[in-house]
Amino acid sequence: MSWTELQTALAAEGYVASDDLAVALQLAVSLERPLLLEGAAGVGKTEVARTLAQARDTRLIRLQCYEGLDAAQAIYEWNYQRQLLSIRAAAEDGETGAAVEARIFSREFLLERPLLAAITQEVTPVLLIDEIDRADEEFEAYLLEILSDYQVSVPELGTITATTRPIVILTSNGTRDLSDALRRRCLYTYVDYPDHATELAILKARCPDVEARLAAQVIGFVQKLREEDLEKTPGIAEMLDFAAALMGLGIADLTANPSVLQATLTTLLKTQSDQAQITPEVAERIAGRAA
Amino acid sequence: MTRVTRFSGRDPGPTARVAGFIAHLRDNGMRLGVAEAELSLEALCATNATTPDTCRRALRAVCTGCKDDAERFDALFDSYWMDAGRVKQKLTKSTPPSANDGVHSSRKGRGQDANAAGSAVAPDDDQGEADSNGTGKLVATNLRNLSRRDLRDLVHADEIAAAEAVARRLGAALRDRRSRRRRAARKGDRLHFRKTIRRSLATGGEPLELLRKRRPDRTRKIVALCDVSGSMGAYSQTFLAFLTGLMRADTAADAYLFHTRLVRITEALRDKDALRAIGRMSLMADGFGGGSKIGLSLQLFADTYARRFVDGRSVVLILSDGYDTSPPDLIDEALKKLRKRGCRIIWLNPLKGWRDYQPVAAGMAAALPHLDLFAPANTLADLAALEKELASL
């Protein structure tokens, strides 16, 4: 599949990928390398993994990282409680020790967590490791090991090797610097806010009902708003909410009714100081320029 | 539209050109090796790259690893493949690359744009004639070559060792116990039920061994901003040694220099060779010893780096005398923004050590209400003496 075909396939699922991103995704698929996506919140990093899974008609396995995430929650864990119960049951049935042991350390008692699940699928899945920068550095090291060998060793069971290599997509918001080792292992793309034409295409793909005039105004407004000095710059999801809100209120022209515009800004501005900064006058000026 | 570089007839083929490109990137400071060259070739095959733009995208995905690299990549790509950035030089014998050629800041390379001694597969010039080997020089970015003072003349190796010891002690003093989550530990204050039950399997369900957990110590992250403007000249030596020591002692620390601009020097200071680290830093600190714009620099810091690197566990350490050429309310606003991130702010002012010192400089006065600690420091001993005060923060 060439990168243009991949781009078309993603577009069919409602995701407008930039050329850069499409090439990187195609490389990640064909070279079987993990792809690291960086970028501000709300530019569609997570969404691209979901759409890729849909487009390829495979499973999406998601690992959400957080501080304190450890191997037991990311790779595998023995189902202790079930093991305990079956030991008790075995004692009453008079089963021998060796048989019980063989049984309770079988795959049946193994709880697969995302990383193990990803390498034991029949069909190549998409593995999304979301916000890798939130996980601890120790976990990053463990992840590196799995991403290079694609195998997990469980002491009681032996080594489980990958049946298929998952397509791995890592995302990062840059709350912490990632290690060079991880960056080297991965392909890399920085996902920026989309330009005017791309964002318009996204809006058209997601809300086909929106009128062309309003769509152009909404995109112009949001793009101009991103240039303002805001604490939290509105992303694509916010833009879609904004468009949906305007459509829900039956507005056809942004400049027509300043008070309604101000009310709908709650979908774009998510902190108190940002809301205070974009006064009705400022909003009207931006809308005027965008129109 | 830029032209695609025409390679000479003697050029050994696409593989060598890609290898030459990787070498070109390496000469311009990207850390790439043989594995990347191989992957680049695979990537070009896999994308079936026929247009320059596809090549550019594929190579960018492979060769870059962070945002800064990705932004520089286009210029580097153009200079190699698109016949841009070509610099003609007089035919002089190039110096053989030294052992640590990968580092920009070796003294030999000072004043040159990059330490690139030309690659064997250099693209030819406009007339289509091949250049002689080893003298062509590819320049992608217009690095300004301002008058620089070499910081290595200011700092000595033994000072760095002493500073490292001080920094280590300060780091230890800043450790605090704040984590909510408990972790398994031999001497914990509470029972770790899950582990206990798990371990009791070995003894037939009898919990013979009791395991404990406790709140772990969490290190505070030190973010140091050092003023290297002209008025701080006399103290720079101490502070730069301290910064270098700090970066070597504490892997989580983060360091910046500012004068009229703000420069992140963390990566440079992590160099294994301490003096080479300072050499790299001096390359980054163009305009060292000039005027200072504390307010603007702090504001820039609060708006950019602080969003990524400063959180409730950070201690922001500002080393400056507070003499500022930008309006004082900028400092006020910047520190307010920083405070909101939940960090502690410490301002170390070398002038405070003077008798009868009053923080009358407008900038200093504006900063005072936001500081957790305002202390004098102009020698390493002063910094070491801060240990107790930092521990009580």
pTM above 0.90, yes or no: no
pLDDT tens digits, B98-151 = 444 444 443 443 344 444 444 444 444 444 444 434 444 444 333 333 334 455
CA distances for B185 relative to A130, B189, B214, angstroms:
29, 9, 6
With an 8 Å Cβ cutoff, are B66 and A24 in contact?
Answer: no
> Closest Cα of chain B to A75: distance in Å?
18
pLDDT tens digits, B152-177 = 555 677 777 777 788 777 776 766 65
Tell me the count of A-B CB pairs closer than 8 A.
78
Q: How many other C-beta atoms lie within 10 A of the C-beta of residue B41?
A: 16
ipTM here: 0.81
DSSP B2-44: PPPPPPPTT---HHHHHHHHHHHHHHTT----HHHHHHHHHHH
Structure tokens of B234?
């006399």
SS (H, E, C) B352-386: HHCCCCCCCCHHHHHHHHHCCEEEECCCHHHHHHC
B62 vs A20, A187, A229: nearest CB: A187
Give the three-class secondary structure for B207.
coil
* Chain A residues closer than 8 Å to B308 by CB: 174-176
Structure tokens of A191?
């996902």
C-alpha–C-alpha distance, residues B16 and B318, integer Å: 49
pLDDT tens digits, A139-163 = 888 888 888 888 888 888 888 898 8
Closest-CA residue to B64 (of A149, A24, A213, A253): A24
* Chain A residues closer than 8 Å to B70 by CB: 188-190
Give pLDDT, residue A129.
Answer: 94
B39 vs A31, A35, A88: nearest CB: A31
- Per the prediction, chain B carries an average pLDDT of 73
Angle between helices B157-173 and B233-249 (to 10 degrees): 60
Give pLDDT, residue A59.
Answer: 93
* Chain A residues closer than 8 Å to B181 by CB: 68
B393 or A126, which is more confident?
A126
Query: Strand pairing partners for A190?
Result: A38
B280 or B105, which is more confident?
B280
C-alpha–C-alpha distance, residues B70 and B354, integer Å: 48
Amino acid residing at B55:
C
**Rg of chain B in Å (alpha carbons):** 26
A261: which residues sit within 8 A by CB, 6+ positions away?
A251, A254, A280, A283, A284, A287
Chain A residue with CA closest to B201: the answer is A84
B46 vs A27, A177, A190: nearest CB: A27
> Closest Cα of chain A to B76: distance in Å?
17
Give pLDDT, residue A290.
Answer: 75
| Lowest model confidence (mean pLDDT) among A106-120, A166-180, B74-88, B257-271 | B74-88
Res. B30 pLDDT band, cuts 50 70 90: confident
pLDDT cut 70: percent of chain B above it? 74
Angle between helices A19-31 and A3-12 (to 10 degrees): 110
Burial A257-280 (b: 16+ CB within 10 A, else e): eeeebbebbebbbeeeebeeebee
Mean pLDDT of B286-303: 78
B198: Cα within 13 Å, side-chain hemisphere = 11
Closest-CA residue to B61 (of A188, A26, A32, A181): A188
C-alpha–C-alpha distance, residues B174 and B185, integer Å: 22
C-alpha–C-alpha distance, residues B132 and B117, integer Å: 12
For chain B, the maximum distance between any two Cα atoms, rounded to a whole number of angstroms, is: 87
Query: Strand pairing partners for A110?
Result: A78
Chain B residue with CA closest to A97: the answer is B204
Distance, C-alpha B200 to centroid of its chain: 49
Which residues 178-237 on chain A approach chain B with CB closer than 8 angstroms? Answer: 180, 183-184, 186-190, 229
**Pairing state of beta strands B183-184 and B212-214?**
antiparallel
Give pLDDT, residue B287.
Answer: 58
Chain A residue with CA closest to B197: the answer is A80
Mean pLDDT of B323-350: 86
Give pLDDT, residue A128.
Answer: 95
C-alpha–C-alpha distance, residues B87 and B83, integer Å: 10
